């Protein structure tokens, strides 16, 4: 406020901004001016500003050039102010007079500041070096007066100047000067960031140099908190970027706040000096930001300092504190005494992880093995740990140093021993992939912490050393990387053996395999450790822990073998032979007892002697060192366990099944360790019904291997009872020996709905049979099932029929071992994330699109009569790249790891790879021959291309299901369109190329028209084959065909076609003969009713059948018709209906009345009952027969009850009579089975 010569009072307001302002900016200023104007209308008002002004109402009022429109606008603004402040004296308000009292002047801030300093120097004789102190102190005085809405008098101004002069004259006498430093952001780093990239704590120089990445979201949170709160706390575990974040915030705010760091504050008596120091800075006009970095015992009285600061000073200061979780737990104090505090917990975000990777890459600080940020990120993404991420990128020492410092600090605390004991166990368990229950951990503690165990765990969790899952009650290590360093630090002078035994005792039973699989990663005193381990796991009622331990140790030993020879396995993978090499290197690929071994590669070399890749893999196999089991932990453990088992009497063993499994494992590790040597087979067979068939078979096999004479003597003596047992416990119905062929046969009843499992059921029975009696040359199995006359015309393979030599069965005895071996090795060839896996397959698909495009370009060139030139090289390069990227294992994350649940997502990918991707690979390999017009190569190339197109939609749908959950939808949709177009265009080009010679007038745009005509001509040939039937039937012909794999299908729709009519079928058999000349593999007949609704079933005719009918008629050799393929029903699919221009709805599969009735089930149950009675006639089979048939009668009775209201009474009585007769002993054979079914089918047809 100023007075001029005429005593007019002018109120002056300063407004500065770097942003351009519009009319809305002036509203608050006018409000301030109006409040004073309504009290005294003789006062004037001036706004001094320094910002760009937008054109419009604001620029006009500043220039005092208001027009009518602007006057209306500002009148409206003042009207809104009036509404919001009705208590003001608006009766004296006059718009024009008020506007005339306003003035505006633009003065740059720097000019105004310079003028103020000049005036101070002139009036008060101030030294120029100190002028900013005086200016700032006056500014603070003005701010305080403004808060009080009071005047600043000349006397107060003189007093303030004198006060500053006195403070300056005192000099640095306050001892707090030694504990406080001003943060200096003026000097860049002098070591080019070496310390920073090694993981050392950031400094202001690092911030100035721009080494740390910017974390906009977190920085914004911190800065907003500083603006809104008195105290801001950044709280996180060690190495999570707290200091860097704090220094960045102070750097960003340095134009508003002067940053100081408080270095010491652990004595209450000195707090007053610290407060006085900052009070003096504020009095000198500074607005200060106090940083307390890494809260610890040296800063433990910070809470009291803030309380005193609050009582002494009311404004112009903020505090920023960084603290580890545990230190905050120890030193936070009573937070209720602090007026305004906010805690921020920083966590690493994915975008920040990418920036860190890029920053380290530019600084050449990445470890040579690191090529992508994703692998490191995926390992820490769940916990979002910064220091672990940096360690994974750089393999630096900082994490180890931080952990060592933490452990040292913990060890010096009062509860240090107890904490270190917990850390040893929990972190070791974390490294081994298992969790420990809080209950077991508490019970295992040998050190007394002197405090509550729960509070102890919380304290440790606060420092991010362990994670407490309160819901499950389990304690976990925070992350394996951190746990690794903790374990190394805590076992520098102590053996890890005791910790491992302790964890072993605490681990859940389900986790034992995983725990033992990690033990080979550690250096243990093998003999004593595994002897102790055997004793620790002993439980006479449950020996299964030993099986888990052996499996885990075997897997872990395989992993160590793989890591030692990884380069060779990687080479095998690069040549597409990883699984072959892995399988043949397994020690259990050889059965010395039977002279059997896995020699797949050798057989392949014999079959393909000129294949260089197979030859290379064979040579590679010879270079790989064999796995020496004698040098592994699993060998030592089995040795200790064998010695333990040898002390046991068989009749005293309570868990025989686990005993058998353990014995087999031990024998496989070393055939000299055969516990069956002391086993009495008579004892084993004394009560075989109490044991499983698997258990009996295993012990019989071990007995055979250990003492064949003793085994053969027992078998010859008890052959009949052994065969009876094997028959009954194998759920079979006949076991007999063919002495002439030295073969054993097993027959079992297989229900029709299980017919697809015939192969699996027969093989599993033969495996158990062979294991129990490995004394035959041939093992045969057959499934007994009723012969269905309705299917007699169709060739149905009998998958259940098996004739297997002993060498082909015994190799399966090691199936579990070789499977575990391969799972362990293959687990090293997974993608880390589903995103990476999807990216890979999407890249492959895009590569195929590019290949298809280039192949079309080649065809265009050749058809134009030009040479390929450089295009040939491009295609070859793309083909080689495609072969390279698709060779080797590209497994889904955690696809099939040992001891983990198998992932379901990749199950369908195998078929898709074979049908689509392999077909494309084959086509590309044959493309050069295709272009050369080699007939065989052209035929094979087109077969593969058609197969690929046929499976394209299936492949796309598979990836679409997965893409939804991982943000790939847009890329998937674009790619699907591209694939469909490119594959279709390639097929058109290939067909055109086959039919045409080069022509200089060739135009690629004529291909589609020609291809459409070509397809129409093919369909026309088929259509003309129905001329004889078109006069009687209304037939709808397709606009296109469809393919399944390499086969082509030509669908038609016939109105009101009765597929059950024998006369109709005969008529169509003869009427369709001309279709034999069509170029399609199958004719598919669909039926539509008068409402144009499609029947759910269609009839499929093989073209070859019609060709054979035609030949038989022409040659008059009608006897050959008995051997013909017959048409068969298939379900109608959307693929069929898409071939027609008219749109039909996909029909729901209708269940006919006959299907609803369990006639077939009743007939099958009667057949099973009759066959069981026929076969199980021995006295010892009586109980087994009763067990096999006990459910049949009540099942049939229930089905008959359901039929009573659905079938005529006569038919129900007929069925009941048949059932009664069968249960009374009458035979129910295939003839009776088919009679019952055909009786009801015929009744349905007659309806």
Paired tokens of 520: 């080979």
| Start-to-end CA span in the chain (Å) | 110
Q: pLDDT by residue (tens digit) across 400-437?
A: 666 676 677 666 677 778 888 888 888 899 899 998 88
The answer on pLDDT for 461 being more than 70 is no
Q: pLDDT by residue (tens digit) across 1175-1217?
A: 999 999 999 999 999 999 999 999 988 888 888 888 888 999 9
Q: pLDDT by residue (tens digit) across 112-159?
A: 877 887 777 777 766 655 677 777 777 777 777 776 767 777 777 777
The distance from CA 498 to its chain's CA centroid, rounded to whole angstroms, is 36
The structure tokens 């002067």 sit at: 258
Alpha carbons within 13 A on the beta-carbon side of 414: 6
Its pTM stands at: 0.74
The answer on pLDDT for 720 being more than 90 is yes
C-alpha angle 505/506/510, rounded to 5°? 95
Burial (CB count <10 Å: 0-12, 13-18, 19+), residue 1228: buried
Q: pLDDT by residue (tens digit) across 169-199?
A: 555 566 766 788 888 887 776 656 566 665 5
Are 977 and 852 spatial neighbours (Cβ–Cβ below 8 Å)?
no
Of 1013, 986, 1015, 989, nearest to 1002 by C-alpha is 989
Q: What average pLDDT does range 548-569 have in this prediction?
A: 96
pLDDT for 1157 equals 66
Are 331 and 295 spatial neighbours (Cβ–Cβ below 8 Å)?
yes
Are 275 and 307 spatial neighbours (Cβ–Cβ below 8 Å)?
no
Better-predicted residue by pLDDT, 631 or 17: 631
pLDDT for 1059 equals 77
Report how far residue 984's alpha carbon sits from residue 994's, in angstroms, rounded to the nearest whole number.
Answer: 16
Lowest-confidence region among 798-812, 910-924, 1058-1072 = 1058-1072
Maximum average pLDDT range among 16-25, 221-230, 907-916, 1200-1209: 221-230
How many CB atoms are closer than 10 A to CB 63? 10
Report how far residue 261's alpha carbon sits from residue 259's, in angstroms, rounded to the nearest whole number.
Answer: 7
The answer on pLDDT for 1245 being more than 60 is no
Are 228 and 148 spatial neighbours (Cβ–Cβ below 8 Å)?
no
The answer on pLDDT for 777 being more than 90 is yes
Secondary structure class of 262 (helix, strand, coil):
strand
- Rounding to the nearest 10 degrees, give the CA dihedral for residues 23, 28, 32, 35: 90
Q: Residue 701's pLDDT band (boundaries 50, 70, 90)?
A: very high
pLDDT for 1152 equals 45
- Beta strands per DSSP E along 875-921: none
pLDDT for 657 equals 93
Paired tokens of 965: 């959950």
Q: What average pLDDT does range 330-347 have in this prediction?
A: 86
The structure tokens 């005792």 sit at: 505
pLDDT for 214 equals 79
Report how far residue 1022's alpha carbon sits from residue 1024's, in angstroms, rounded to the nearest whole number.
Answer: 5
Q: pLDDT by residue (tens digit) across 961-989?
A: 999 888 899 999 999 999 999 999 999 99
Lowest-confidence region among 40-49, 268-277, 408-417, 842-851 = 408-417
Burial (CB count <10 Å: 0-12, 13-18, 19+), residue 945: buried
The answer on pLDDT for 469 being more than 60 is yes
Average pLDDT, the chain: 86
Better-predicted residue by pLDDT, 252 or 330: 252
| DSSP annotation string for 405-425 | HHHHHHHTSTTHHHHHHHHHH
The answer on pLDDT for 1032 being more than 90 is no
Report how far residue 72's alpha carbon sits from residue 83's, in angstroms, rounded to the nearest whole number.
Answer: 16
Report how far residue 625's alpha carbon sits from residue 1226's, in angstroms, rounded to the nearest whole number.
Answer: 67
How many CB atoms are closer than 10 A to CB 11? 16
pLDDT for 171 equals 53
Paired tokens of 444: 């295992």
Of 458, 456, 465, nearest to 483 by C-alpha is 465
Residue 796 φ then ψ, to 5°: -110, 115
Q: How do beta strands 1042-1044 and 341-344 pair?
A: unpaired
pLDDT for 1045 equals 84
Report how far residue 860's alpha carbon sits from residue 843's, in angstroms, rounded to the nearest whole number.
Answer: 26
Paired tokens of 947: 């197969």
| DSSP annotation string for 1206-1233 | TS-HHHHHHHHHHHHHHHTT----HHHH
Q: How do beta strands 474-477 and 466-469 pair?
A: antiparallel
Cα separation values, 606 from 353, 600, 602, 927, Å = 52, 10, 6, 27
The answer on pLDDT for 623 being more than 80 is yes
Q: Which helix (H) or strand (E) holds 72?
A: helix 68-84
pLDDT for 170 equals 55
| DSSP annotation string for 552-583 | HHHHHHHHHHHHHTHHHHHHHHHTT-HHHHHH
Report how far residue 608's alpha carbon sits from residue 617's, in angstroms, rounded to the nearest whole number.
Answer: 13
Secondary structure class of 1066 (helix, strand, coil):
helix
Report how far residue 493's alpha carbon sits from residue 496's, in angstroms, rounded to the nearest whole number.
Answer: 9
Q: How do beta strands 180-182 and 258-262 pair?
A: antiparallel
Of 636, 420, 381, nearest to 519 by C-alpha is 636
- Beta strands per DSSP E along 636-793: 734-738, 743-749, 778-784
How many CB atoms are closer than 10 A to CB 1074? 18
Number of residues that this document lists for the chain: 1247
Burial (CB count <10 Å: 0-12, 13-18, 19+), residue 929: middle
Report how far residue 577's alpha carbon sits from residue 6's, in angstroms, rounded to the nearest whole number.
Answer: 103
Paired tokens of 1016: 């129409």
Of 549, 556, 510, 509, nearest to 533 by C-alpha is 549
Report how far residue 424's alpha carbon sits from residue 412's, in angstroms, rounded to the nearest whole number.
Answer: 16
């Amino acid at each position: 406020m100023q007075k001029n010569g005429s005593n007019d009072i002018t109120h002056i307001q300063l407004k500065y901004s770097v942003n351009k302002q519009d009319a809305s900016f002036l509203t608050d200023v006018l409000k301030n001016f109006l409040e004073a104007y309504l009290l005294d209308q003789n006062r004037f008002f001036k706004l001094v500003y320094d910002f760009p002004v937008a054109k419009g109402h604001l620029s006009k009022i500043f220039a005092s050039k208001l027009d009518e429109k602007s006057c209306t606008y500002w009148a409206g603004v003042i009207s809104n102010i009036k509404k919001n402040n009705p208590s003001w004296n608006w009766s004296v308000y006059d718009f024009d007079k008020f506007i005339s009292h306003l003035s505006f002047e633009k003065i740059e801030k720097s000019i105004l500041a310079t003028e103020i300093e000049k005036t101070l120097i002139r009036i008060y004789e101030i030294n120029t070096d100190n002028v900013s102190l005086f200016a700032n102190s006056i500014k603070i005085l003005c701010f305080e007066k403004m808060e009080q809405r009071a005047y600043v008098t000349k006397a107060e101004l003189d007093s303030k100047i004198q006060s500053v002069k006195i403070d300056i004259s005192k000099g640095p006498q306050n001892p707090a000067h030694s504990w406080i430093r001003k943060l200096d952001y003026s000097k860049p780093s002098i070591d080019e960031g070496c310390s920073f990239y090694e993981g050392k704590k950031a400094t202001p120089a690092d911030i100035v140099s721009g080494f740390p990445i910017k974390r906009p979201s977190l920085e914004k949170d911190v800065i907003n908190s500083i603006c809104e709160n008195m105290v801001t706390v950044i709280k996180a575990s060690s190495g999570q970027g707290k200091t860097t974040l704090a220094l960045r915030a102070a750097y960003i705010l340095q134009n508003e706040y002067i940053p100081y760091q408080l270095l010491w504050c652990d004595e209450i008596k000195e707090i007053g000096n610290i407060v006085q120091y900052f009070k003096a800075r504020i009095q000198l006009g500074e607005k200060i930001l106090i940083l307390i970095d890494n809260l610890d015992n040296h800063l433990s009285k910070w809470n009291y300092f803030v309380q005193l600061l609050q009582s002494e000073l009311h404004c112009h200061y903020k505090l920023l504190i960084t603290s580890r979780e545990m230190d905050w737990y120890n030193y936070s104090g009573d937070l209720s005494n602090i007026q305004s505090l906010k805690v921020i917990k920083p966590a690493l975000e994915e975008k920040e992880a990418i920036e860190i990777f890029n920053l380290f890459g530019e600084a050449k600080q990445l470890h040579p093995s690191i090529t992508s940020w994703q692998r490191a990120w995926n390992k820490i993404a769940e916990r979002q740990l910064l220091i672990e991420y940096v360690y994974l990128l750089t393999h630096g020492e900082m994490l180890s140093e931080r952990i060592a410092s933490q452990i040292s600090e913990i060890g010096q605390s009062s509860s240090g021993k107890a904490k270190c004991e917990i850390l040893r166990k929990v972190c070791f368990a974390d490294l081994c992939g298992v969790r420990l229950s809080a209950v077991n951990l508490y019970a295992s503690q040998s050190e007394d912490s002197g405090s509550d165990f729960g509070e102890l765990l919380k304290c440790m969790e606060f420092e991010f050393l362990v994670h407490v899952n309160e819901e499950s009650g389990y304690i976990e290590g925070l992350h394996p990387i951190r746990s690794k360093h903790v374990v190394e630090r805590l076992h520098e002078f102590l053996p890890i053996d005791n910790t491992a035994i302790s964890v072993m005792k605490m681990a859940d039973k389900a986790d034992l395999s995983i725990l033992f699989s990690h033990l080979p990663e550690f250096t243990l005193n093998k003999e004593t450790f595994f002897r102790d381990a055997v004793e620790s796991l002993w439980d006479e009622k449950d020996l299964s822990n030993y099986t888990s331990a052996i499996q885990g140790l075997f897997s872990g030993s395989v992993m160590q073998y793989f890591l030692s020879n990884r380069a060779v396995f990687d080479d095998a993978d690069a040549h597409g032979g990883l699984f072959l090499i892995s399988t043949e290197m397994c020690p259990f690929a050889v059965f010395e007892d039977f002279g059997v071994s896995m020699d797949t590669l050798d057989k392949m070399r014999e079959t393909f002697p000129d294949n260089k890749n197979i030859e290379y893999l064979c040579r590679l196999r010879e270079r790989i060192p064999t796995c020496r089991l004698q040098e592994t932990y699993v060998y030592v453990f089995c040795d200790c366990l064998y010695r333990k088992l040898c002390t046991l009497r068989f009749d005293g063993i309570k868990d025989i099944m686990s005993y058998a499994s353990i014995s087999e494992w031990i024998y496989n590790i070393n055939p000299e360790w055969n516990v069956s040597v002391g086993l009495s087979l008579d004892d084993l067979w004394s009560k075989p019904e109490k044991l499983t068939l698997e258990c009996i078979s295993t012990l019989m096999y071990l007995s055979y291997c250990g003492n064949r004479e003793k085994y053969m003597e027992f078998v010859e003596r008890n052959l009949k009872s052994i065969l009876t047992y094997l028959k009954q416990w194998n759920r079979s119905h006949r076991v007999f020996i063919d002495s002439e062929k030295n073969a054993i046969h097993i027959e079992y009843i297989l229900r029709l709905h299980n017919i697809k499992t015939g192969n699996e059921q027969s093989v599993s029975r033969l495996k158990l049979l062979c294991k129990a009696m490995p004394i035959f040359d041939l093992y045969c199995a057959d499934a007994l099932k009723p012969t269905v006359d309705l299917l007699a015309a169709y060739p149905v393979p009998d998958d259940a029929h098996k004739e297997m030599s002993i060498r082909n069965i015994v190799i399966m005895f090691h199936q579990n071992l070789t499977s575990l071996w391969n799972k362990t090795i293959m687990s090293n060839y997974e993608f880390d994330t589903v995103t990476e896996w999807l990216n890979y397959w999407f890249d492959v698909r895009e590569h195929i699109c590019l290949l298809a495009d280039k192949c079309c370009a080649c065809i265009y060139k050749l058809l134009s009569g030009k040479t390929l030139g450089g295009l040939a090289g491009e295609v070859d390069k793309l083909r080689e790249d495609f072969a390279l990227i698709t060779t080797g294992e590209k497994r889904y994350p955690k696809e099939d790891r040992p001891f983990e649940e198998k992932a379901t997502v990749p199950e369908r990918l195998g078929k898709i790879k074979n049908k689509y991707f392999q077909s494309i690979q084959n086509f590309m390999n044959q493309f050069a021959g295709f272009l050369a017009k080699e007939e065989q190569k052209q035929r094979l190339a087109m077969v593969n291309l058609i197969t690929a197109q046929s499976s394209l939609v299936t492949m796309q749908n598979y990836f679409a299901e997965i893409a939804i959950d991982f943000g790939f939808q847009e890329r998937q949709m674009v790619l699907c369109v591209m694939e469909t177009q490119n594959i279709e265009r390639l097929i058109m080009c290939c067909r055109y190329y086959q039919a045409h010679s080069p022509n200089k007038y060739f135009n690629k745009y004529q291909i589609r028209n020609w291809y459409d005509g070509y397809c129409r001509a093919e369909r026309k040939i088929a259509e003309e084959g129905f001329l004889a039937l078109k006069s009687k039937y209304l037939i709808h012909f397709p606009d296109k065909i469809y393919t399944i794999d390499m086969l082509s299908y030509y669908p038609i729709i016939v109105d009101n076609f009765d597929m059950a009519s024998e006369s109709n079928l005969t008529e169509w058999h003869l009427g369709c003969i001309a279709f034999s000349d069509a170029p399609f593999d199958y004719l598919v007949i669909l039926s539509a009713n008068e409402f144009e609704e499609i029947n759910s079933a269609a009839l499929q005719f093989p073209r070859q059948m019609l060709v054979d009918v035609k030949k038989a008629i022409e040659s008059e050799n009608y006897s050959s018709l008995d051997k013909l393929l017959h048409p068969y029903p298939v379900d109608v699919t959307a693929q069929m209906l898409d071939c027609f221009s008219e749109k039909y709805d996909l029909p729901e599969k209708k269940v006919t009345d006959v299907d609803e009735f369990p006639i077939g089930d009743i007939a099958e149950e009667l057949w099973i009952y009759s066959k069981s009675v026929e076969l199980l006639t021995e006295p010892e089979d009586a109980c087994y027969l009763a067990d096999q048939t006990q459910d049949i009668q009540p099942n049939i009775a229930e089905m008959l009850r359901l039929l009573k209201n659905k079938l005529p009474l006569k038919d129900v009585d007929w069925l009941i009579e048949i059932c009664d007769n069968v249960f009374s002993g009458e035979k129910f054979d295939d003839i009776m089975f088919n009679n019952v079914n055909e009786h009801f089918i015929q009744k349905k047809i007659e309806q």
